[in-house]
Amino acid sequence: MLGVRVTSAESTELFVGPPDALLQVVRVGYLGASGADTLRVTGDGLRSDDVMPPAGDGVVEIAVRVARPVPGQRRAADAGADFPFEFVVAEPGWTMYMVGHFHYDPVWGNTQGAYTTLWTEEPWPGPADQRVRADLRRFIADWRAAGRGMATRC
């Protein structure tokens, strides 16, 4: 470490890596990185590779190997050379998949449509709100005409 200063460190409930070798993510805030500095996380049963944060100030995510993981266990850890923090072992097992879809609720235009327009418009909601609703309905009609269909079940 040349000149980088760690300002915060927190374990997260996020994981990276293959299912049989998961690494828990730690977010580390820093100031004054030169672009040649490195950061790492160490502690009781904790080890990461050296990570080179981008020059300047920011936050970097560091993948940490956790030996003998016990979910909820608290361990003493260090980020960088001299920033102690409490590392909480998280429980892996959840996978989130982002599924592209389109949802249209006709009532939405009445209850939420105004949030897509300018609040300074007089009268409110006004012509911009009407355009948003018309554009949305036209988009849905085009979407269906193109054979993309609509999801009917989850």
The parent domain of residue 60 ranges over: 5-88
107 and 150 both lie in a single domain: yes
43 and 109 both lie in a single domain: no
pLDDT for the residue 136: 74
54-70 residue pLDDT tens: 999 999 999 999 999 99
21 and 71 both lie in a single domain: yes
Cis-peptide, bond into residue 123, ω within 30° of zero: yes
Q: Count up the domains in the chain and report the number.
A: 2
Nearest-CA neighbor of 48 among 20, 13, 87, 19? 87
Whole-structure pTM value:
0.63
